[in-house]
Amino acid sequence: MSVQRPSIEVRNLVKRFGSFTALNGIDLDVYPGEVHALLGDNGAGKSTLIKALSGVHPPTSGEIKVDGEIVQFQSPREASDAGIGTVYQDLALNPLASVTRNFFLGREIKKGLGPFGLLQMKEMNAITIAEMKKIGIHISNPDQPVGTMSGGQRQTLAIARAIYFGAKILILDEPTSALGQKQQMEVLKTIRTVQKLGNIAIILITHNEIHAQLIADRFTFLSLGEVIGRGTAQELEGDEIKKLMAGGAELGNLKAELAA
């Protein structure tokens, strides 16, 4: 029986900004079909790590592998082309443009060459509806402005867009922050649906230990640029880890809702 290979492997990753060391020897493996929660307080190094993985900040030293191949990204475009899709908190959506125009943003399907090519709106609308439906959101009118969608639906749109354009490693930066509980659960259900596709590795960056405990298979804890703990969901059920996973009293109800 073959051993599954990580979609992305990080070995001894270091990132310095001048004399400041933001990441100091980070190791991380994320596998297809799993949600890997990356937890830590402000200043822990989470944002620097995902920016290194997504081509924003080249590492000072260390190694990143995608599907077993060493990569050295010089730009976010190179990371995207390698299959790393990052959904940041701001989502990079235009609230005044339609759902479809946001879905294809800069990658529109045209008939004819150059800037005078005709947009194939019927085809793009059909793709948008189908791709959103795959991960749990039914869009009746793809011409509606994105600003009329809920926060959870906008997150789903950004996730569906990343997957459609080739993401096999999906990095989600605080996807439930600034959302109400209902919308937070919408996003968690979307993540669960993507996970069930089985071929996408998901890195979930969050401050919310409850959400991580609800959805993640494995956990890595960062503090001051270093890994201070890691483990699977089964390993992290003891009293010691419950100190990190706050909110146990309401966890049962949320688990039932997520499973519904």
**88-138: per-residue pLDDT in tens?**
888 888 999 999 999 998 888 888 776 677 888 999 999 999 999 998 888
203-249 residue pLDDT tens: 999 888 888 888 999 999 898 999 988 888 887 764 545 444 333 33
pLDDT of residue 96: 93
Computed over every residue of the chain, the mean pLDDT equals 88
Question: What DSSP element (H or E) covers 151?
Answer: helix 151-164
Cα 94 from Cα 121, distance rounded (Å)? 17
What CATH fold (topology level) applies to the domain 8-259?
Rossmann fold (3.40.50)
Coil/strand/helix, residue 129: helix
Look up residue 16 and give its two tokens.
Answer: 């310095």
Which of the residue ranges 35-39, 57-61, 69-73, 227-231 would you say has the lowest mean pLDDT? 227-231
pLDDT of residue 3: 66
Residue boundaries of the structural domains of the chain: 8-259
Q: Which amino acid is at 115?
A: P
The DSSP annotation for 209-251 comes to HHHHHHH-SEEEEEETTEEEEEEETTGGGSHHHHTTS--HHHH
145-182 residue pLDDT tens: 999 998 889 999 999 999 999 999 999 999 988 788 88
Cα 209 from Cα 40, distance rounded (Å)? 9
In contact, 180 and 121? CB cutoff 8 Å: no
pLDDT of residue 207: 82
**Residue range 17-43: mean pLDDT, rounded:** 94
pLDDT of residue 211: 87
In contact, 159 and 167? CB cutoff 8 Å: no
Judge whether residue 1 has pLDDT over 60.
Answer: no
